[in-house]
């Protein structure tokens, strides 16, 4: 919360979590609004709309900011219940998938946070109805004010919708759902070419050496970047070497086409790029970082240009067989908006 004597309009940022579990750094947020996640229903949102708890930005507290309903809060906040019962919100995930964990964050909610919460899930091709069967995946658990609450999930079933219950009322700053997007590769035609690096196809960022300005997971997002912040950008390198980012493909593939897009990066695009790749069977994310230094070259160094989609085909791509991971090298530093790897599915 804000300091007692902070001037009106002062913006107070959230305190970072003291300890962030692996699932919150390894997997993507399936409830990210950029993926299409949205709140379908909530019992109440008197003080602050439920959609606000899905925002990607960190929650803030603005001293002295009020609206028609009272103190403006960065999150979902319901009115005080006087008639029993409790509040809940139904969230449609932007990407259906296997959930690995949650973060129910109450940053800046101190005298108005819910004392407890629980989470249910369902898989439905359409919006849930009164007849929908829900499965409890997080039992009722006590919450604290102005805190992150991480819940790890060990369930391999995919889900499409969630129902967040708060007891009995109060405010939630952010609701994040970390998991692996679902892609049924058994139903895919193996003779076709697929974007196996795409987030919606199970592609994910494994590691990177620096991300001072950008967000690496944007590399595997759909569409072109909307601005320079919609991509991966490193700090200015003041020592020898180069920057890199490792991507795990959603399915092993024989690579046939690559795109490196420097959209909006003009005075800060890389001078050159190259890609290494390998078929990895047994490893951890940490061990892959070391192994990747010695992977075969899939795409030799290529000169890049500002604000441009660079496409590489059979003339530039080396034949090294099926791969599961790629490492994008940028020389010496800079920004890349999107990386796309297309290929035919391999066993």
Query: Binning pLDDT at 50, 70 and 90, where does residue 3 land?
Result: low
Q: What percent of the chain has pLDDT over 70?
A: 98
pLDDT above 60 for 217:
yes
Average pLDDT over residues 102-127: 97
Average pLDDT over residues 15-24: 82
Give per-residue pLDDT as tens, 46-59.
Answer: 999 999 999 999 99
- The number of angstroms, rounded, from the C-alpha of 87 to the middle of its chain's C-alpha atoms is 26
φ/ψ (deg, to 5) at 58: -70, 145
Per residue, the 3-state secondary structure of the chain, as one string, reads CCCCCCCCCCEEECCCCCCCCCHHHHCEECCCHHHCCEEEEECCCCCECHHHHHCCCCCEEECCCEECCEECCCCEECCCCCCCCCEEEEEEEEEEEEEEEEEEECCCCCCCCCCEEEEEEECCCCCCCCCCCCEEEEEEEECCCCCEEEEECCCCCEEEEEEEEEECCCEECEEEEEEEECCCHHHCCCCCEEECCCHHHCCEEEEECCCCCCCHHHHHCCCCCCCCCCCEECCCCCCCCCEEEEEEEEEEEEEEEEEEECCCCCCCCCCEEEEEEECCCCCCHHHHHHHHHHCEEEEEEEECCCCCEEEECCCCCCCCCCEEEEEEEEECCCEECEEEEEEEECC
pLDDT above 60 for 147:
yes
Closest by CA to 30, choosing from 90, 95, 92, 91, is 95
Average pLDDT over residues 34-46: 96
Which neighbouring-strand residues pair with 32? none
Give per-residue pLDDT as tens, 60-114.
Answer: 999 999 998 899 999 999 999 999 999 999 999 999 999 999 999 999 999 999 9
Full-model pTM: 0.85
Predicted pLDDT of residue 1: 47
Average pLDDT over residues 264-271: 98
pLDDT above 70 for 2:
no
pLDDT above 70 for 276:
yes
- For residues 152 and 141, give the distance between their C-alpha atoms in angstroms, rounded to a whole number: 13
Predicted pLDDT of residue 274: 98
Give per-residue pLDDT as tens, 149-179.
Answer: 999 999 999 999 999 999 999 999 999 999 9
Supply the mean pLDDT for the chain: 94
Predicted pLDDT of residue 26: 81
């Amino acid at each position: 919360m804000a300091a007692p004597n902070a001037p009106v309009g002062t913006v107070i940022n959230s305190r970072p979590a003291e300890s962030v579990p692996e699932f919150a750094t390894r997997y993507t947020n399936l409830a990210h609004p950029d993926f299409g996640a949205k709140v379908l229903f909530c019992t109440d949102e008197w003080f602050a709309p439920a959609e606000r708890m899905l925002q990607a930005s960190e929650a803030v507290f603005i001293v002295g900011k009020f609206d028609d309903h009272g103190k403006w809060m960065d999150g979902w906040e319901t009115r005080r219940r006087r008639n029993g019962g409790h509040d809940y919100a139904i969230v449609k995930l932007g990407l259906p998938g296997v959930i690995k964990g949650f973060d129910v964050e109450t940053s800046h909610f101190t005298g108005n946070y819910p004392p407890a919460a629980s989470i249910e899930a369902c898989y439905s091709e359409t919006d849930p109805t009164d007849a929908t069967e829900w499965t409890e995946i997080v039992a009722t658990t006590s919450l604290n004010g102005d805190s992150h609450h991480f819940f790890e999930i060990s369930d391999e079933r995919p889900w499409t919708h969630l129902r967040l219950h708060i007891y009995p009322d109060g405010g939630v700053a952010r609701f994040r759902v970390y998991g692996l997007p679902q892609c049924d590769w058994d139903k895919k035609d193996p003779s076709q070419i697929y974007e196996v690096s795409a987030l919606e196809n199970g592609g994910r960022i494994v590691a990177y050496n620096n991300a001072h300005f950008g967000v690496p997971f944007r590399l595997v997002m759909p569409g072109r970047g909307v601005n320079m912040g919609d991509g991966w950008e490193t700090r200015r390198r003041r020592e020898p070497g180069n920057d890199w980012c490792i991507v795990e493909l959603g399915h092993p593939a024989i690579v046939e086409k690559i795109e490196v897009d420097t959209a909006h990066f003009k005075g800060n695009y890389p001078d050159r790029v190259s890609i290494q790749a390998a078929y990895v069977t047994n490893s951890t994310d940490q061990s892959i970082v070391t192994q990747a230094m010695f992977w075969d070259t899939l795409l030799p160094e290529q000169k890049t240009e500002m604000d441009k989609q660079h496409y590489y085909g059979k003339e530039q791509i080396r034949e090294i067989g099926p791969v599961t991971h790629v490492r994008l090298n940028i020389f010496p530093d800079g920004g890349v908006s999107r990386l796309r790897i297309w290929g035919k599915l391999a066993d």
